[in-house]
């Protein structure tokens, strides 16, 4: 048998092995979800290995991936349980997948631009005095920490997350929060010793907040679109 044929067979075997592992992973994933839904108890590694007729090593490998994805929690002597399915946890799971996919930063900003701008009318209609107060507080904190780029950037993201929360749609909130939270990774690209940079952002967001208070949907959308478009230029 020629070396080329042997190499081709080895590649095919590897691809088949990966396909089988993926199928097994999805079977274990689905089974665990059904267990948790029906009675709340999840089988142990040994029980899962026996059910699927595989080694505990293969089970452990699949469970490790599910843990990294934030789908299950595992602790010694306490077994496994599904992660509490709240918007924040779902966003974290989506973000893990985004990290694996290694999307380009421009794609994230473009997605934010499309989603965040379009939720503004919904956020305005469902805005409450309490939420307005939280938005105002986020801006005050950003201004107060303008000298600290990491902290100021955190409060900037909090402002945007609050706008998403204000729209009241949990599906939009989950996906959008994953996008916004991703930008924690880009903090190092922002000016580190330029307080005016964040003071300018806070001023623009105060204008946005004023438009929201006035119920001016078009103005608010234009202001937010302009701000996010500037980020594309800055982070590109």
Are both 144 and 186 inside the same structural domain?
yes
State the Cα–Cα distance between residues 63 and 34, nearest whole angstrom: 15
Residues 112 and 189 in one domain: yes
Instruction: Examine the domain organization and report whether 59 and 175 are in the same domain.
Output: no
Number of domains in the chain: 2
Residue 40's pLDDT is 66
Compute CA distances 21 → 50, 98, 152, whole Å.
Answer: 17, 21, 44
pLDDT of residue 21: 81
98 and 72 share one domain: no
- Is the separation of the CB atoms in 111 and 95 below 8 Å? no
- Residue 77 pLDDT: 61
Q: 78 and 100: one domain?
A: no
Question: What's the pTM value of the predicted model, to 2 decimals?
Answer: 0.63
Q: What is the mean pLDDT of each run of 10 residues along the chain (236 residues)?
A: 59 68 85 76 84 89 79 70 61 63 74 88 95 96 93 91 89 76 66 84 96 96 91 71
DSSP letters along 167-198, please?
Answer: T--HHHHHHHHHHHHHGGGGGGGS-SS-HHHH
Q: Are residues 73 and 132 in the same domain?
A: no
92 and 25 in a common domain: no
Q: What is the pLDDT of residue 92?
A: 63
Q: Domain holding 60: CATH number?
A: 1.10.10.10
What is the span of the domain harbouring residue 135? Answer: 88-235
The pLDDT, as a whole number, for residue 61 is 87
Same domain assignment for residues 112 and 211? yes
Q: Which of 52, 67, 82 is the last residue of a domain?
A: 82
Looking at 59, 82, 105, the residue that finishes a domain is 82
């Amino acid at each position: 048998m020629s070396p080329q044929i042997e190499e081709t067979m080895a590649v095919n075997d590897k691809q088949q092995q990966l396909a089988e592992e993926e199928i097994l992973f999805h079977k274990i994933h689905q089974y665990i979800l059904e267990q948790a839904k029906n009675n709340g108890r999840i089988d142990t590694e040994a029980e899962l290995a026996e059910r699927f007729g595989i080694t505990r090593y293969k089970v452990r490998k699949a469970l490790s991936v599910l843990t990294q994805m934030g789908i299950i929690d595992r602790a010694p002597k306490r077994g496994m349980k599904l992660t509490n399915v709240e918007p924040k946890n779902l966003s974290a799971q989506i973000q893990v997948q985004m990290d694996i996919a290694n999307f380009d930063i421009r794609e994230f900003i473009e997605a934010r631009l499309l989603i965040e701008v379009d939720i503004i009318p919904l956020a305005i209609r469902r805005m409450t005095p309490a939420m307005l107060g939280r938005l105002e507080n986020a801006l005050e904190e950003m201004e107060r920490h303008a000298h600290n780029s990491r902290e100021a950037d955190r409060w900037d993201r909090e402002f945007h997350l609050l706008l998403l929360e204000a729209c009241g749609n949990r599906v939009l909130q989950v996906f959008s929060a994953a996008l916004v939270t991703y930008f924690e990774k880009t903090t190092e690209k922002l000016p580190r010793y330029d307080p005016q940079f964040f003071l300018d952002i806070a001023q623009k967001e105060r204008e946005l907040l004023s438009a929201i208070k006035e119920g001016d949907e078009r103005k608010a959308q234009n202001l937010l679109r302009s701000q996010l478009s500037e980020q594309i230029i800055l982070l590109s």
